[in-house]
Amino acid sequence: MARKSGSMESPADDGGLNWNDCKDLVRAMLEAGVSVLVRGHPGVGKSAIASRLALEMDIGLVDIRLAQRDPADIAGVYFPDEGRTQLNLLAPDWVVRAVNEPTLVFLDEINAAVTKLHQAAAYQIVLERRVGPFRFHPRTVVLAAGNLEEDNAIVTPLSSALSNRFAHFRLRVDTKSWVEWGTDNGIDGRILGFISARGSEMLYDNNGDDAFPSPRTWEMASKVIGQVHSEQIRRVLTACVGAAAAAEFDSWLAIYGRVDPSAIVRRGQKVDFSKGDGLEPSFRYAAIFSVSSWVAEQSDLSPKETENLVQFLSSRGLDPEYQFLCLRRLWHLPWLSPRLRATPVFRKLAGGMVAIRKESYMA
Amino acid sequence: MRDKTAHERDTRISRALRDVVPHYDITRFDPADQADKVRFRVKSRSPGKTLSDYTVIVSREWASPPACTCPDGSGRARLGGYCKHAIAVLAQNDEFSCQLIELFLRD
């Protein structure tokens, strides 16, 4: 696998939307009453969009994986009344929620191996916002997601009638969004640094193996690599993201291990990025993610340690793009940003970083 | 497609540097009753823009983001109150320009 080193963007970006833009546009559509179908590679965050939007819109979430549900779970079942003269529809519990309260109905894997019965049920949900006689709450919205046909996932083409009822978005693999998401959601800093250094081709590579890298499998890996001995990490990674990615990650860990964040922040050890290892993008990413992850594990820094951190950010040869990357990871720590703002050497550094950006706008 | 927040920020900064800095008078006041704040009057020199007269308040110790009396400054949470007037004020004053870094830590 040929990899680009030091790249945050990748030619693998396939014309779709990044995660944040996709989420925002989907929300605008849903709030306008338009149902949306998001397609993307497996594990790139389609379900996460549904979860986040339910939170942002302050409505409940019903997650329906069509391929794993019996059509009756979706459309309900008819049963005879007491006089056995009429059939009444018994609604599934999710329908009761969608009727009684604002709900985001998420039809996941809508183009997986679903039957015509599934599609017929989905058609009524999407088009008429009801199931049988049960009409949804006016603020209930419908979002669907599906995989791309080229992903070796089993895909059933949607009927044109159903497809035409959706607004369509394509979600692309987006390293930057995922690293931001990972920073906020506790993904292991070694993985975030690795993905930042290697770009989206390492974040997603459906290479035909059983285990392959995707945002979902990296998240899976993140949950376990902190629980096993260092010599087991490669095996665990192989199980989650495949042998090729695990081998590359192993090499990355060797670089990562050369950085001692405690010595840098606690004792003020200097790092020179203008020569030797420091010139290597991989080492720069390793240093930045190692230091920022270590700081994130602390609950406070002394004034001297804060100055040492600023000294690291001001290291010789560390380009502004790396300074900004490190600061972005640090700034979201609620206890740290006030400390940095109150530190004169940080203000001086920040003023210099702003001046460089300002020049680019003036140009 | 570029990230929306970054695009909005870039547009705002460009407007501040292109439209506000050359065409507005920016006057500093240090209010005696608020030692931790600095006020700037930002007033358009264009005769047609009689309503373009705003006040930007900057925290001397960077304890809070800048605030502006213009509709944009109070109405748009995405950039945390950094309207073009506040950006212009900070960009013009070396003492406070470091505060602009917050804009670049959001993308």
- Mean pLDDT across the stretch A18-44? 91
**Can you tell me whether residue A136 is helix, strand or coil?**
coil
Q: Are residues A114 and A248 in the same domain?
A: no
Structure tokens at A165: 């009822």
The answer to the question of residue A2 being in a domain is: no
Q: With contacts defined as CB-CB under 8 Å, which chain B residues touch A348?
A: 98
- CB distance A20–B97 less than 8 Å? no
Q: Which of A256, A288, A313 is the last residue of a domain?
A: A256
B22–chain A nearest CA distance, Å? 12
- CB distance B104–A342 less than 8 Å? no
- CB distance A18–B3 less than 8 Å? yes
Q: Are residues A72 and A218 in the same domain?
A: no
- CB distance B91–A358 less than 8 Å? yes
The one-character DSSP state at A66 is G
Domain span holding position A279: 258-363
Residue B107 has pLDDT above 60, yes or no: no
Shortest CB distance from B13 goes to which of A341, A353, A361?
A361
- CB distance B1–A353 less than 8 Å? no
**Per residue in A178-217, pLDDT tens?**
888 888 888 999 999 999 998 888 999 988 889 999 999 9
User: B21 — contact with chain A (CB < 8 Å)?
Assistant: no
Q: Are residues A94 and A197 in the same domain?
A: no
Residue A153 has pLDDT above 70, yes or no: no
User: A353 — contact with chain B (CB < 8 Å)?
Assistant: yes
Residue A112 has pLDDT above 70, yes or no: yes
- CB distance A20–B61 less than 8 Å? no
Q: Which of A120, A150, A171 is the last residue of a domain?
A: A171
Residue A60 has pLDDT above 70, yes or no: yes
User: A333 — contact with chain B (CB < 8 Å)?
Assistant: no
Residue A13 has pLDDT above 60, yes or no: no
Q: What are the beta bridge partners of residue A170?
A: A39
Q: Are residues A150 and A60 in the same domain?
A: yes
Q: Chain A: residue nearest B93 by CA?
A: A351
Q: Sign (positive/negative) of CA torsion A141, B6, A168, A76?
A: negative
Q: With contacts defined as CB-CB under 8 Å, which chain A residues touch B14?
A: 361
Q: Are residues A235 and A339 in the same domain?
A: no
Shortest CB distance from B4 goes to which of A24, A358, A362?
A24
Q: Are residues A199 and A64 in the same domain?
A: no
Residue A231 has pLDDT above 80, yes or no: yes
**Per residue in B8-43, pLDDT tens?**
888 888 888 888 888 888 999 887 777 889 999 998
Percent of chain A with pLDDT over 90: 60
The answer to the question of residue A239 being in a domain is: yes
Residue A9 has pLDDT above 60, yes or no: no
- Residue pair B23/B15 in contact (Cβ under 8 Å)? The answer is no
Q: What is the pLDDT of residue A11?
A: 34
Q: What is the pLDDT of residue A185?
A: 85
Q: With contacts defined as CB-CB under 8 Å, which chain A residues touch B88?
A: none
What average pLDDT is seen over chain B? 83
The answer to the question of residue A294 being in a domain is: yes
The answer to the question of residue A8 being in a domain is: no
Q: How confident is the model at residue A254 (pLDDT cuts 50, 70, 90)?
A: very high
Q: Are residues A30 and A110 in the same domain?
A: yes
- CB distance B17–A358 less than 8 Å? yes
Residue A7 has pLDDT above 50, yes or no: no
Q: Domain total for chain A?
A: 3
State the CATH number of the domain containing residue A112: 3.40.50.300
Q: How confident is the model at residue A171 (pLDDT cuts 50, 70, 90)?
A: very high
Q: What's the 3-state SS for chain B?
A: CCCHHHHHHHHHHHHHHHHHHHHEEEEEECCCCCCCEEEEEEEECCCCCCCCEEEEEEECCCCCCCEECCHHHHHCCCCCCCCHHHHHHHHHCCCCHHHHHHHHCCC
The answer to the question of residue A1 being in a domain is: no
The answer to the question of residue A4 being in a domain is: no
Q: Are residues A19 and A166 in the same domain?
A: yes
Q: Are residues A181 and A143 in the same domain?
A: no
Q: What is the pLDDT of residue B82?
A: 84
- CB distance B3–A324 less than 8 Å? no
Q: Which of A171, A197, A215 is the last residue of a domain?
A: A171
Mutation for A interface: B19, B104, B106, B107, most A CBs within 10 A: B104
The answer to the question of residue A6 being in a domain is: no
Q: Are residues A167 and A181 in the same domain?
A: no
**Per residue in A191-200, pLDDT tens?**
999 999 988 8
Q: With contacts defined as CB-CB under 8 Å, which chain A residues touch B17?
A: 358, 361-362
Residue A273 has pLDDT above 50, yes or no: yes
What average pLDDT is seen over chain A? 88
Residue A3 has pLDDT above 50, yes or no: no
Residue A310 has pLDDT above 50, yes or no: yes
Nearest CA among A147, A180, A170, A138 for reference residue A324:
A180
- CB distance B98–A354 less than 8 Å? yes
pTM of the model: 0.75
- Residue pair A63/A169 in contact (Cβ under 8 Å)? The answer is no
For residue A2, give the H/E element and its range: none
The answer to the question of residue A247 being in a domain is: yes
Q: Are residues A51 and A185 in the same domain?
A: no
Q: Are residues A17 and A165 in the same domain?
A: yes
